[in-house]
Amino acid sequence: MPSALDIIDARKVFRTPEGSTLTALDGISLRLASSEFVTLLGPSGCGKTTLLRTINGFESLDSGDVVIDGQAVTQKPAHRRPVNTVFQRYALFGHMSVGRNVGYALEIAGKDKREIRTRVGEMLDLVGLSGLDKRSISQLSGGQQQRVALAQALAAKPKLLLLDEPLSALDKNLRQKMQQELKALQRELGIGFIFVTHDQEEALTMSDRIAVLAHGRIQQIGAPTELYQRPANLFTADFVGESNLLPVRCDGRTAQLVDGQTFAAPRAPGSATLLLRPEALSLTAPAGPSLSLTGTLRETFYTGTDHQVVLHAPAFGEIRALLRTGQSLPAPGAQMTLYAAAEGLHIIDEVAP
């Protein structure tokens, strides 16, 4: 599949006001296929926004290369790169109409007025705002302004669209609606999207692949199901979704928990960590091999579709489970046993602190 973007060993170091240095990008390499939706996910300060800014040319690299649609752009200024960016705070002109905002970049480029009108109409139709070209920006809702920003960014037909937390200012319901619309829009356009967020649920919902960043490095990149079900390290396991992390000792064929339970684990001998996702636990023992965790029920939280359960198991500490409604739960303070089927077990070759 053709490549929309190649980032090769990108490095960027900033000097702090105190005179020390901060490594924002520490040898990052990333390939984005054409028509792929990739999300950069990580906590504040992990390097995701810096990486985005080196792609659109707002920040220069200390070393490494950026290649867009087969063309090296590392030395090109921002206005010479075939990308556009939608920011967290939409770059809209309040004194201009919706249509003028969408067509502004085309005006600056000297395009014919008829061509601009046609393109503006196409973009407003694409984002569901047909007929609003004469309206003032101040007369639009937050969701409509977000759509105008998208139309504005897409009007110049970029090879790549970058989105820097563009949904963070929206309320929950509108945000979820816009997530679906953005993904549908990306499929319709067939161009590469790079989306920056610190919201794991947003990343899991929208992405073809997710790159998890921490300390200026990519910790893991893969499909949402891969990152969630088979995280490569403790950072990814803990950052993407809720996790129960239990110490185990491997002997080459099996892994043993601190309470003596064992399960099949053909891997190198040594200490490791067992990941149990909350939804992998159940109240009933499965037919096949499983682990059991017994303790005192501390708390339950009803979410409408599930019960979030907090169990204190003497051998393991706090265990969190997600149980479907309709199951009978004991009262807090009672003893309870949770079960984990073998297919829900995942070992990480790191030792949890």
CATH number of domain containing 329? 2.40.50.140
Query: Which of 200, 235, 270 finishes a domain?
Result: 235
Which structural domain range is residue 99 located in? 3-235
Q: For residue 219, give the 3-state DSSP assignment.
A: strand
What CATH number does the domain containing 59 carry? 3.40.50.300
Q: Which residue from 284, 288, 276 is spatially nearest to 338, judged by alpha carbons?
A: 284
One digit per residue, pLDDT tens: the chain, 353 residues?
A: 678 999 999 999 999 888 899 999 999 999 999 889 999 999 988 999 999 999 999 999 999 999 999 999 999 999 899 999 888 776 788 888 999 888 888 888 888 889 888 989 988 888 888 888 899 888 888 888 888 888 888 888 889 999 988 887 677 777 888 888 888 888 888 889 999 998 898 999 999 999 999 999 999 999 999 999 999 999 999 999 899 999 999 999 999 999 999 999 998 999 999 999 999 999 999 988 999 999 999 999 888 888 899 999 999 999 999 998 777 888 899 999 999 999 999 999 999 88
User: With contact defined as beta carbons under 8 Å apart, do 164 and 2 qualify?
Assistant: no
- Residue 224 shares a structural domain with residue 311: no
Q: What are phi and psi of 327, to 5 degrees?
A: -90, 140
Task: Give the residue carrying structure tokens 């790159």.
Answer: 211
Joined together, the tokens standing for residue 156 give 């110049």
- Residue 58 shares a structural domain with residue 207: yes
How many structural domains compose the chain? 2
Residue 353 lies in a domain: no
User: With contact defined as beta carbons under 8 Å apart, do 63 and 9 qualify?
Assistant: yes
Cα radius of gyration (the chain): 24
- Residue 190 shares a structural domain with residue 103: yes
- The whole-model pTM stands at 0.89
C-alpha to C-alpha distance for 349 and 190, rounded to whole angstroms: 38
